[in-house]
Amino acid sequence: MNHLKQPWLRSPWVDGLFILSPPFLCLLAIMLFPGFFQQHVKSLPVPAWVLLILLIDVGHVYSTLFRTYFEKETLNQKRQLLLWVPLGAWAVGILLYSLGEGIFWRVLAYLAVYHFVRQQYGFMRLYSRQEQRPRGEHQFDTSCVYAATLLPLLYWHLEGSRNFNWFVDHDFLPLSFPTAAPWVAYLNVALFLVYLLKEAWVFWKCNRFNLPRNLVITGTFLAWYIGIVHYNGDLIFTTFNVVSHGIPYLALIWISRKQPKNRVEQLVSPSWLEKLSMGMVGVGFFIGLVVVLAYLEEGLWDALVWREHPQVFSSFQLLPQVNDHLILSILVPLLALPQITHYILDGFIWRASKPRKVSA
């Protein structure tokens, strides 16, 4: 690929702002406001929780609806899958929670980790789709993406004293081998430096430079290494983790949604939801719907289970908190069902058909 021609998914400014820049913007925010981030090492301030967890993290889960249940073509083609995945996930969730609350959250945490790691690999593949290069080079890039995510996670498991968790305390298996953790960090940095040297050599020898792919891999390294290894703070980790994952996912859903090919399809083919989500009005509908659904879900979580943010969900506080384990074994997997379904369906929707040309 000539270094002047880049494999954008939509356009340089859309890809750059919404898909590629989030980890770098997170780093910039931490550099500009270090005191604020260092004040919140073990917990999130309420405004940050609302922005990061409620609006972005939970919101991006519901964006999957626009590539599945709200998209008539996918719904018709994958009807059985879209029916049985949530039902099966709820049944398995009930079984896991009945075996123990910790078991349920541990399985869910590792399922989420798999989803987050695979997204970074997926973006690397998307931005490599037009490249003609040796197989070994592609395999090395794949190894670097996985190293940039899995090595910080291994460091987290080994070091054992992070001030943050994925969902709940002790949801990761404690390996408790802190003397090995620094060597994992050194290996992580070394592999990234080798990747940079490889890219410099390719540019010098072949005049080939894939800007978005390099930004994906560099951003992945920064988000996971700085967020997990370099700093040990809840707000910093959550900022990197949520923003670097949720914003690009929302953008990818929006630009890859199914669009009618001609005026006849505009009038006949799409469902009313697809029609409503077209154009600039559709941006407001898209964001508004996922925010409303996220607020409703988190309100139920807070009232029935957690009771952590009554000031955010005051209208839900009339609901009774549930303490009975049997009821919780049914309720908690039900409340978690949107995100579990999101994790599972995400493995199908991007390879369910031939790659789409992204929309305007």
Q: With cut-offs at 50, 70 and 90, classify the pLDDT of residue 347.
A: confident
Q: Token pair 């080939």 is at which residue?
A: 208
What is the DSSP code string of 308-326?
--TTT-GGGTTSPPP--HH
Least trusted range by pLDDT, from 86-95, 219-228, 250-259: 250-259
pLDDT surpasses 90 at 276 = no
The domain in which residue 176 lies consists of 12-349
Q: With cut-offs at 50, 70 and 90, classify the pLDDT of residue 211.
A: very high
Report if residue 7 sits inside a domain: no
Length reported for the chain: 360
pLDDT surpasses 70 at 314 = yes
The whole-angstrom separation of Cα 236 and Cα 225 is 11
DSSP H helical ranges for the chain? 12-14, 22-32, 34-39, 46-49, 59-63, 72-77, 79-99, 101-127, 135-159, 181-206, 211-224, 234-256, 263-268, 272-276, 279-301, 325-335, 337-349
Torsion of CA 103, 90, 354, 150, to 10 degrees: -10
pLDDT surpasses 70 at 270 = no
Least trusted range by pLDDT, from 19-33, 113-127, 182-196, 247-261: 247-261
Q: Which is higher by pLDDT, 5 or 340? A: 340
pLDDT surpasses 50 at 262 = no
Residue 274: burial class (beta carbons within 10 Å; 0-12, 13-18, 19+)? buried
Q: Token pair 């369910």 is at which residue?
A: 352
Mean pLDDT, the chain, rounded, equals: 90
Report if residue 49 sits inside a domain: yes
Cα angle 192, 134, 152 (rounded to 5 degrees) comes to 20
Report if residue 357 sits inside a domain: no
Domain count, the chain: 1
Structure confidence at residue 274 (pLDDT): 56
Structure confidence at residue 73 (pLDDT): 84
Structure confidence at residue 357 (pLDDT): 45
Structure confidence at residue 74 (pLDDT): 85
What sign does the dihedral 352-80-61-260 (CA atoms) show? positive
pLDDT surpasses 90 at 196 = yes
Q: Token pair 């040297």 is at which residue?
A: 197
Report if residue 131 sits inside a domain: yes
The one-letter amino acid at 252: L
Q: Token pair 């190894």 is at which residue?
A: 143
Structure confidence at residue 101 (pLDDT): 96
Which tens digit of pLDDT belongs to each residue from 79-102?
A: 999 999 999 999 999 999 999 999
Element (H, E) at 47: helix 46-49
pLDDT surpasses 80 at 124 = yes
Distances (CA, A) of 197 to 151, 191, 192, 258, 333: 20, 10, 9, 39, 46
The whole-angstrom separation of Cα 155 and Cα 176 is 10
Report if residue 4 sits inside a domain: no
Q: With cut-offs at 50, 70 and 90, classify the pLDDT of residue 348.
A: confident
What is the DSSP code string of 275-304?
HHTSHHHHHHHHHHHHHHHHHHHHHHHIII
Report if residue 358 sits inside a domain: no
Report if residue 354 sits inside a domain: no
Backbone angles phi, psi at 354, to 5 degrees: -65, 150
Check if the beta carbon of residue 67 is closer than 8 Å to that of residue 74: yes
Spacing of C-alpha 49 from chain mean position: 16
If one counts every other C-beta atom within 10 angstroms of the C-beta of residue 350, the result is: 18
The mean per-residue pLDDT over the stretch 5-26 comes to 95
pLDDT surpasses 50 at 106 = yes
The whole-angstrom separation of Cα 221 and Cα 118 is 14
Q: With cut-offs at 50, 70 and 90, classify the pLDDT of residue 265.
A: very low
Report if residue 355 sits inside a domain: no
pLDDT surpasses 80 at 266 = no
The whole-angstrom separation of Cα 72 and Cα 63 is 15
